C-alpha cells in the first residue's frame, strides 16, 4: 500500500496525518511518499516523520521524498491514497496580499481562506495546481482516493469531484469536534458520553441538526437557554455561533472567527461596535501564521537535538478512512461530497458536508432530506460564491471572478459593485503569475 502526501512541507499536518497512520496496525507497512516543491520544508518533514516511524511500536513504513514538479508523477505512481495539504503562494506573499489589499477598500477579514475575497483568490490560484495533480493521478494512480484537506474545502473538493476523474473526498476536523466544543463551553460535559448527533450542511457551515444524550433526551432546549445566557453575560470566544443559535436556532461546525466573515451581519464598517460586541479577531489568520511559524521553529530545533517524537492517534479522519477501506471495517465520517440529492433543498452540484459510510467499497454519502429552510438559505449564500468561483476556474473568465465577489455576503455588504471589480482587478494583478490565465 502506498500513501502519497502532497504538500509535505506542511510539516505539522504531515506529522499529524502520517503519524496517525503509523499508529494504525493496518497501515504500518505502507510506503509513504512525501512530495513538496520546497527542499528545506520537505527535508524537515522527512526528519520528523522518520522519527515518528522509528519510535512508534510496530511501524515499519518506507519513507521516500520527491522534490519538485519533475518528480511529482513518481511520487504519485501506484498510490492508493493521496493526501492533499498544499498552500499555493504560502503566507508570503499571497496570504498577506489577500488581507492587505482589501483593507485599502475598507474590507476586513478574520481568516480569509474559505469564503470572501481571500477564499476566492486562494481557490483560483490553487485549482490550476490541483488540475495538474488530477492529470497525473488519472495516468499513474487512477484508482487512488484523493483526501483533500486544503481550503477553501468546498470549492477545491467540488472542482475535483465535478471536473476530474479523481475519486475525491474533502475532510475537515470541525465535524468531529463540534458538539464536544459546544457542550464543554456550556458546562454540559456530563452529557458528552453516549451522545448522539446529526450534522449536515456545507464545510465550515454544517449544522448540528440534532443532539441527544445517551438516553435519547433532546439537549437543544438547554443548549439554547445556556447559549443565550452566556452571550448576555459578556464576551467570550464563540459569540458568533451562539448568536446563530439565537437567530437561526442551530449551532454550526466551524469556529466563530471563521463564521464572522461568512455573512453580512458582524463585520460592518458602519457598525464598528459589533467587532467588540462579538469579540471578532480581525486579521486572525496572518497573526496565527506568524505564531505557527515561530512555534514550528522551536519544535524543529527540539527534534534536531533528540531525534525523537511521541505520537498518539488524533481525531483527523484520514487514517480512519484508509483503515476502513483496507480492512473493510465500516466507519462513519463527515465528508465533503457532491450533493446529488443528499440534501434535497441544496443544489445537486454543490459540495456538501454530510455523514458518509466508509468501508471496502469506498465512501458512501448518506441522504439527509431537507434542511430547515433558514439553514439551507444561509448555506446558499456561501454556495453561490463557491459555484461561481468554480465556474471562473473552469472557464478562466475574469467576469465570473467579479460575480463570485459580488455575491459574497460580507464583501457585498461593505463595498459597491465598482469597488468590488476594482478590488478583484488589483488582487489579480498583485498575484501575478498565479492568476495569469484569467482574462
Q: Which residues are annotated as a binding site for Mn(2+)?
A: 172, 204
Binding residues for substrate: 151
32 vs 83: CA distance, rounded Å? 11
Closest CA to 424 of 108, 88, 124: 124
DSSP string, 376-414: HHHHHHHHHHHHHHHHHHHH--HHHHHHHHHT-HHHHHH
The active-site residue, picked from 173, 236, 400, 410, is 173
Biggest distance spanned by C-alpha atoms of the chain: 61
Which distant-in-sequence residues (6+ apart) come within 8 Å of 428 by Cβ?
A: 398, 401, 435, 438
Distance, in Å, from the CA atom of 66 to the CA atom of 48, rounded to the nearest integer, reads 16
DSSP 166: S
Q: Classify 261 as helix, strand or coil.
A: coil
Q: Which three cell numbers stand for residue 304?
A: 534536531
Instruction: Report the chain's terminal Cα–Cα distance, integer Å.
Output: 43
Angle CA 228–230–231, to nearest 5: 65
Q: Work out whether the CA dihedral 229, 234, 236, 238 comes out positive or negative.
A: positive
Judge whether 173 counts as a catalytic residue. yes
**Which of the residues are catalytic?**
173
Amino acid at each position: 500500500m502506498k500513501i502519497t502526501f502532497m504538500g509535505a512541507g506542511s510539516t505539522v499536518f504531515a506529522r499529524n496525518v502520517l503519524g496517525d497512520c503509523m499508529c494504525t496496525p493496518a497501515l504500518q507497512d505502507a510506503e509513504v511518499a512525501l512530495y513538496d516543491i520546497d527542499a528545506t520544508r520537505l527535508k524537515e518533514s522527512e526528519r520528523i516523520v522518520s522519527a515518528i516511524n522509528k519510535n512508534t511500536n510496530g511501524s515499519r513504513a518506507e519513507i521516500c521524498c520527491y522534490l519538485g514538479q519533475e518528480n511529482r508523477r513518481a511520487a504519485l505512481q501506484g498510490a492508493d491514497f493521496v493526501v492533499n495539504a498544499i498552500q499555493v503562494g504560502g503566507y508570503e506573499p499571497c496570504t498577506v496580499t489577500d488581507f492587505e489589499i482589501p483593507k485599502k477598500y475598507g474590507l476586513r477579514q478574520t481568516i480569509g481562506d474559505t469564503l470572501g475575497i481571500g477564499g476566492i483568490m486562494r481557490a483560483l490560484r490553487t485549482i490550476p495546481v490541483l488540475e495538474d495533480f488530477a492529470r497525473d493521478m488519472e495516468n499513474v494512480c487512477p484508482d487512488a482516493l484523493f483526501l483533500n484537506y486544503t481550503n477553501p474545502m468546498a470549492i477545491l473538493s467540488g472542482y475535483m469531484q465535478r471536473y476530474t476523474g479523481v475519486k475525491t473526498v474533502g475532510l475537515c476536523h470541525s465535524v468531529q469536534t463540534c458538539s464536544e466544543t459546544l457542550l464543554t463551553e456550556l458546562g454540559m460535559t456530563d452529557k458528552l458520553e453516549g451522545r448522539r448527533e446529526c450534522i449536515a450542511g456545507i464545510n465550515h457551515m454544517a449544522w448540528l441538526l440534532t443532539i441527544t444524550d445517551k438516553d435519547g433526551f433532546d439537549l437543544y432546549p438547554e443548549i439554547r437557554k445556556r447559549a443565550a445566557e452566556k452571550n448576555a453575560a459578556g464576551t467570550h470566544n464563540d459569540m458568533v455561533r451562539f448568536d446563530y443559535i439565537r437567530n437561526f436556532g442551530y449551532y454550526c461546525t466551524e469556529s466563530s472567527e471563521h463564521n464572522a466573515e461568512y455573512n453580512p451581519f458582524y463585520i460592518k464598517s458602519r457598525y464598528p461596535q459589533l467587532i467588540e460586541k462579538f469579540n471578532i479577531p480581525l486579521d486572525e489568520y496572518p497573526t496565527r501564521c506568524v505564531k505557527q511559524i515561530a512555534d514550528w521553529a522551536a519544535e524543529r530545533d527540539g527534534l534536531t537535538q533528540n531525534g525523537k517524537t511521541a505520537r498518539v492517534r488524533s481525531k483527523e479522519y484520514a487514517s480512519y478512512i484508509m483503515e476502513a477501506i483496507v480492512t473493510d471495517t465500516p466507519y462513519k465520517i463527515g465528508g465533503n461530497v457532491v450533493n446529488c440529492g443528499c440534501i434535497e433543498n441544496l443544489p445537486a452540484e454543490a459540495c456538501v458536508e454530510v455523514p458518509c459510510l466508509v468501508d471496502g467499497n469506498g465512501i458512501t454519502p448518506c441522504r439527509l432530506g431537507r434542511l430547515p429552510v433558514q439553514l439551507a438559505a444561509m448555506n446558499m449564500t456561501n454556495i453561490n460564491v463557491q459555484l461561481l468561483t468554480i465556474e471562473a476556474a473552469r472557464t478562466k473568465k475574469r467576469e465570473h471572478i467579479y460575480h463570485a465577489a459580488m455575491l459574497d455576503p460580507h464583501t457585498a455588504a461593505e463595498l459597491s459593485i465598482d469597488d468590488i471589480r476594482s478590488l478583484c482587478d488589483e488582487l489579480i494583478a498583485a498575484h501575478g503569475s498565479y492568476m495569469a490565465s484569467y482574462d
